[in-house]
Amino acid sequence: MKFSFISLLIICAALCLFYLIRVEGRAFVLLAVSLWYVAYLDRLSFVWLTGVTAFTYAGGLIMQRLLDCEKKRASRIVMIISTAAIAALLLFMKYSPLLKGMETVSDDLLKIFVLPLGISYYTFQAISYLADLQKGKTKAQKNIIIFALYMSFFPKFISGPIEREGDFESRIKGLKTVCLLEKGRIEKVFCYMLCGAFMKAVVADHIGLYVPALMEDPAAHGSAWLLIGVFFYAMQIYCDFAGYSLIAIGIAELFGVELTLNFKAPYLSKSPSEFWRRWHISLSTWLRDYIYIPLGGNRRGLPRQLVNTMVVFALCGLWHGSSFKFLLWGLLHGAFSAFALLIGMNGSDKNPVKMWLSRILTFVVVSFGWILFATPDTSTAVFYVKRIFTAGASAGSFAEEMQLLGMSPVELAVIISGIILVMIMDIYGYRKGKILPELVLEWKYGWRYFLYYVLIVLLFILTRSFSDLNAGSFMYMDY
């Protein structure tokens, strides 16, 4: 969801209704709040959401009836037509901005086809539901309230995670036994949301004050600051998106709904395959299960595996946006993954030197790939990389470029300190095999409350000291 003061009021109202009414009506309350929230954000997005939800729900019922009558071929035809229609809608909405260059298209029509909020996520959920139904992994959801809630649940609506209907249904059916004051629930919510808010407001938002100036005008800066910009943006997009995910998990936990964990210290990965097991996990597993494996995965020899890998990452790039730079970003990751397959770089090498070289190489490639996200277009991205290797210090001294960016030494220290703290958190979590909130909840009370105190103080001081921070805007809401 989009976190703001209005969002806080919505959560409080939802909590009151959720715990005051009869337990049988809890799912209906969450659905009503979710649909109202989507309509509040954008009415056209609400229309598209309800249309896709109704279409998928009806398609699922038809498929189930055909499967019950052992008409698997007919059910498969319905599944193919339904998923093709949903995928076509997503592609059209993603690429509708290209219509702006056509003189024959009216402004009123363009307003209708503005990219709806959350469509990248709930269409993938719809497709996975139909595919799992055909495979027999789940049964058609006959309860329209549960299915509509699966598609629209407000904490995950705008930026995921991408859930599976079967898993989500079991969580919704357990709503009747949820108690707000159940042991550990309030502290778990608080811990997840506090860690997420720190990553977002203290780290990502501070970096976000300066990265755009570097990415949009690389000609004004020397190599050192352009390299810093690459590193800063890599940390910004990670802390922004992972911060969102932690906050969303915390909000969902208020209602007893467990959301999929989306990030597990991805920048410590030793191979591209490990990176994608740790970055945007719900998307990468969706692509694996519904694109890579159906294409044959790694079962038909190395050449076919390399082709499948390139196809998956090309689609991953197209999913993120309509610009050519996103396709290029996907192909870059596909090429790196193919290269890793060819040289046997899978992160299993126990040699510490090779392990760290693999880790550094993975981080560098991933970080340079983000340049395509951060810059306005492909030509600027290419020029940015070229400037890194050719500009030298021609734009001025380090201090002069800080002044050009409007960055004070104190602000630089805040950013560096925040990044270091996030890195320490990730290293600690990586070694323990858990994310920080999970580990913190296992600490003794003294250490736990000390960390809470530190994070709260940092949030209070730093978000009040920098008036340009915008804690209500998240980067992945645009994809």
Nearest-angstrom CA–CA distance, 275 and 267: 7
Q: Where are the alpha helices (DSSP H) in 398-441?
A: 398-405, 409-432, 436-440
Gyration radius (Cα) of the chain, Å? 23
Is the CA virtual torsion 122, 126, 131, 137 positive or negative? positive
Please name the helix (run of DSSP H) or strand (run of DSSP E) that holds residue 72, with its range, or none. Answer: helix 72-95
Nearest-angstrom CA–CA distance, 297 and 299: 6
Q: Where are the alpha helices (DSSP H) in 143-271?
A: 144-152, 165-173, 185-197, 205-207, 211-216, 223-254
Look up residue 476 and give its DSSP letter. G
Residue partners of 451: CB distance under 8 A and separation at least 6 = 440, 443
> Of the listed 206, 280, 320, 333, which one is catalytic?
320
Nearest-angstrom CA–CA distance, 181 and 15: 12
Nearest-angstrom CA–CA distance, 215 and 231: 12
Residue 320 appears among annotated catalytic residues: yes
Q: Which amino acid is at 202?
A: V
Q: Which two tokens stand for residue 244?
A: 């969102």
Nearest-angstrom CA–CA distance, 129 and 122: 10
176 in helix, strand or coil?
Answer: helix
Provide φ and ψ at 309, rounded to 5°. Answer: -60, -45
Look up residue 48 and give its DSSP letter. H
Residues assigned a catalytic role:
320
